[in-house]
Structure 1
């Protein structure tokens, strides 16, 4: 049975779909391909050039020390002119217009710093292990429990982005390894598709937390940002 791809996958009922790696993002808008930038991908590339690099010397460690966001402005529009329409983080929870929330207060967070030395070491070690395993065996999600990279879709007319809920290390490795398309699984706890055409029904648009213009700005950031703009401002581009 063939796996539906892209827009066809969005419009299907299949829980497993094929997506283009170039259209995959994490929740902060980082991309996993050569034209984009992701802190995990950059760390793998460092390791390839220098297999003896230590966690303390890695770009992963630098990233966690430099990047410690406190607002959605930092996460999606780092160092842009401050936009007062973007709502503040309340009780350490960052909320997106369509209702998804992310914990900004938890210590040792995979997505940003500050993090402990032991956490960074484990994150680095796990990442390199996954990269080496995928480089040797390839991506075989059916052969492993919880083997699929998971997430959901943002749909903008005939275009899409696949936003990961799990599998950041695997996706970073697959991007570095040059994979163009991969099968993924829709995350059952998230709404399958967030469609720009349904913007008026988004929870935080309805309750007034986000106005329409700001909601569109946030949504569009996943289609325009690649991560390179933030990496450049953080002085992390090689």
Structure 2
């Protein structure tokens, strides 16, 4: 087992605020620190927040069958429809976030939608069972031994990701350590100890404009902006809550609503 040198807590471990992000991006020694992000600012996949009732993994800890229902109900054909819950059906042919192609490395996995994308269904029974086992194993490990990120070793000893910045608001997109993050929230953490990916700190409207013509066609920039804005849209956030609530009701044998 490989142990990494412990990082120092930024601001003595107090949760970061919007103004801290600018300091972190220009600090020459920011790589020596981890920082705590409030859980309501942490996001997974296509907009799922790390709070109770807003994340399918957290619902799983309350009712295991709800994860089956989530992957059955949530099968969008592309990223745009995934984030807008199917309300926006403009042409878009990828399940990846558009800025991943140039900013964050993501392996090119064929048939990702069918079997290998953690963010949506359908999942084969064996893949679903592995997901459940990993969630419970990580939770049990942290519960019994405490959270020791250094023991995870390379490449992701710490929960990691990057910031999404919009005006004076921010979110932290968790790219690595998704199961650890969920377990910590389930165990009562109100903020998550994270580090930023080494190749990027944040995505903003300026970043998206700069990638137009490189990571995607300039004509696609309005769609890319919609994808980005969907993370901050309160109506869509409520729609995700409702989708998960219906999954819970269906898992308990109540009335079925088709999404």
Match of 1:111, SS state, is: coil
Q: How many residues align?
A: 220
Counterpart position of 2:116: 108
From 175, 180, 202, give the equivalent of 1:193. Answer: 202
From 219, 229, 234, give the equivalent of 2:228. Answer: 219
Q: 1:104 to 1:198 in 2, by over 3 A?
A: same
From 43, 47, 54, give the equivalent of 1:25. Answer: 43
Partner Cα distance (1:121, 1:215) in 2: 34
Q: How far does residue 24 in structure 1 lie from its aligned partner after superposition?
A: 0.5
Q: How far does residue 37 in structure 1 lie from its aligned partner after superposition?
A: 1.1
Structure 1: which 5+ runs fail to align?
A: 48-57
Alignment deviations for residues 169-208 of structure 1 (CA, whole Å, 9 cap, x no partner): 11112222221122212123x5221123444213368731
Counterpart position of 1:122: 130
Counterpart position of 1:142: 150
Counterpart position of 2:242: 232
Structure 2: which 5+ runs fail to align?
A: 1-7, 250-259
Partner Cα distance (2:192, 2:84) in 1: 28
Partner Cα distance (1:227, 1:103) in 2: 28
Q: How far does residue 83 in structure 1 lie from its aligned partner after superposition?
A: 4.1
From 76, 88, 109, give the equivalent of 2:92. Answer: 88
The yes-or-no answer on 1:77 pairing with 2:77 is no
Q: Is the 8 A contact 1:157 1:196 kept in 2?
A: no
- What TM-score, normalized by structure 2, do the two folds share? 0.72
Q: Is the 8 A contact 2:37 2:172 kept in 1?
A: yes
Q: Is the 8 A contact 2:43 2:173 kept in 1?
A: yes
Match of 1:153, SS state, is: strand
Counterpart position of 1:38: 55
Q: 1:227 to 1:147 in 2, by over 3 A?
A: farther
The yes-or-no answer on 1:11 pairing with 2:13 is no
Q: How far does residue 138 in structure 1 lie from its aligned partner after superposition?
A: 3.4
Partner Cα distance (1:159, 1:73) in 2: 22
Partner Cα distance (1:206, 1:125) in 2: 37
Q: 1:167 to 1:160 in 2, by over 3 A?
A: same
Q: Considering only aligned residues, what root-mean-square deviation do their CA atoms show, in Å?
A: 2.8
The yes-or-no answer on 1:174 pairing with 2:184 is yes
